[in-house]
Structure 1
Amino acid sequence: MEFGLWEKYYIEILEDFGFSREADEESARLLDEVLSTEGCLTLEELREIVGFSDKFIVFGAGPSIKEHVKMLKEEYDLKNYVLVSADGATTAMIEERISPDVVATDLDGNLDDIMLADIRGANVVIHAHGDNIDKIATLPQFFTSVLGTTQAQPIGNLYNFGGFTDGDRAIFLAVALGASEITLAGMDFGDIVTKYSRPKLETETAMADDFKRKKLRYAEMLTNWIKENEPVEIINLCDK
């Protein structure tokens, strides 16, 4: 999605949630500064790394994630797919002894597991927004292979492929990396949150609050935009 089109959705999201564009831009500038110092991947470099396949599986942190991971292990040859985890879904994958090729994160998930994925060879796509400035200031330097993204105007080393939540942003990323087929695992778009998307949750699952439900509605809407506008086949395991 080109930024000119994304910006229309972005402005709507800013107004709907009361987010600050200035804070997003501040976070983006900070991430760009860190990556300029520490080094980072370009989109072309990441495309080359994952170029062994144009078939992707994007893992979300919805309530179906463990069921889908176990099914994929049994029925799919995962070596033939680029595996992309959306933030907290990384934990569910590691629990099942699967290492993602790419992690799309705004640093809200279990950071120990994201760092473990990095050690095991994952490429970490770190997203800057107004609510994670403190983490941006310190964490990117601990990862070995980073690409930076923003939801505001892309600057310097940062990209904006489109997308709002970790899940739908991971799908936009897969499209940008050349996917012709994307299988969605753990992408429920429902009213239930899990400990994978909310690490401090005291139970395995819980009802989503109004804020989260609204975020999931945007995620589903933007995923549907990809289905309708990009030359890629989307297969959601939740529909099977």
Structure 2
Amino acid sequence: MRPEEWFELYRQILSDFNFSAEGDAKAARLMHELGKDKLLDAESLREKIEGRDVVVVGGAVDSEIDGEVIITAGKAIVKWLGLSDRTPDVHVTDMEESASLLISLEENGTLLVLHAHGDNMDRIREVVPRVRRFVGTTQNVPFDRVYNFGGFTDGDRAAIIAKRFGAEKITLHGFDFSAEGIKGRKLVWARKILEKEGLI
């Protein structure tokens, strides 16, 4: 997804949800300030993904699936670990999971991709000081190892990352776009983004 494509969608998302672009930017600055030397170069994702068969695991996962690379998205990690003994290769999240779970994933070799947005600054303050290394992302303007690959929810962001960093094949597993309320509205955008990227 080209930056201009993402920012057109981002403007629409901000309007739809009455989100604050400045809040997103402030969260990204906070992540950068707390992360400092912990922030990894994005090419660490390419080392994991490029040329491989990638499975992106979403929140409706109800079975294990094989793939060269497993990328879990957000709270799907809890279900995945209940179904599989395999630690994911990459975990993409805005940190709604417990800090202890994220620390455990990193200790077991998972590359964490942590996302900053205006509503999760408390999570940034709790998680970032406790992990060792991570790739940082924002949905606002990227800067100095805080990246914007595109994507709104953890699931569509994870799939876009797989595409961006050269996956040979991408399988979406456990993606269900039916929900009520604000979650349902977010999933409408996730589906739209994945369709635009040719991922569904």
Cα deviation digits, residues 39-69 of structure 1 (max 9, x gap): 2211112312444x4211000012xx123x2
Which ranges in structure 1 are unaligned for 5 or more consecutive residues? 192-207, 228-233
Paired with 1:114 and 1:87, the residues of 2 have a C-alpha distance of 10
1:220 aligns with 2:191: yes
Give the conservation status (yes or no) of the 8 Å contact 2:151–2:157: yes
Q: Among residues 52, 55, 60, which one is paired with 1:54 in the alignment?
A: 52
Structure 2 match to 1:183: 171
Is 1:101 aligned to 2:101, yes or no? no
Q: Aligned partners of 1:113, 1:90: CA distance in 2, in Å?
A: 9
Q: Deviations over 1:56-112 (max 9, x none)?
A: 1000012xx123x2xx2xxx4x3xx21100011111121121210000000113443
SS in 2 for 1:99: coil
| Structure 2 residue matching 1:139: 3-state secondary structure | helix
RMSD (CA atoms) = 1.6
Q: Give the partner amino acid of 1:27.
A: A
CA contact (8 A) 2:42 2:145 kept: no
Count residues with an aligned counterpart: 199
Aligned counterpart, 2:16 = 16
Whole-angstrom CA distance in 2 between matches of 1:39 and 1:114? 15
1:201 aligned partner: none
Quick one: distance in 2 between partners of 1:12 and 1:55? 33
Distance 2:2 2:162 in 1: 15
Aligned-partner SS, 2:6: helix
Gaps of 5+ in 2: none
**2:62 aligns with one of 66, 75, 78:** 66
Separation in 2, partners of 1:34, 1:155: 15
Contact kept, 8 Å, 1:3 with 1:153, in 2: the verdict is no
Post-superposition Cα deviations, 1:166-196, rounded to whole Å, max 9, x if no partner, equal 10011111112211311011101112xxxxx
- Please give the residue correspondences for 1:100-179 in structure 2 after superposition, counting only pairs within 5 Å: 100-179=88-167
1:85 to 52, 69, 72: 72
Report the secondary structure of 2:177's partner residue: coil
Aligned-pair identity in percent equals 35
Shift of 1:130: 0.2
- Amino acid aligned to 1:99: T
TM-score, length of structure 2 as denominator length: 0.93
Structure with bigger gyration radius: 1
Once residues 214 and 156 of structure 1 are traced to their aligned partners in structure 2, the CA distance between those partners, rounded to angstroms, is 32
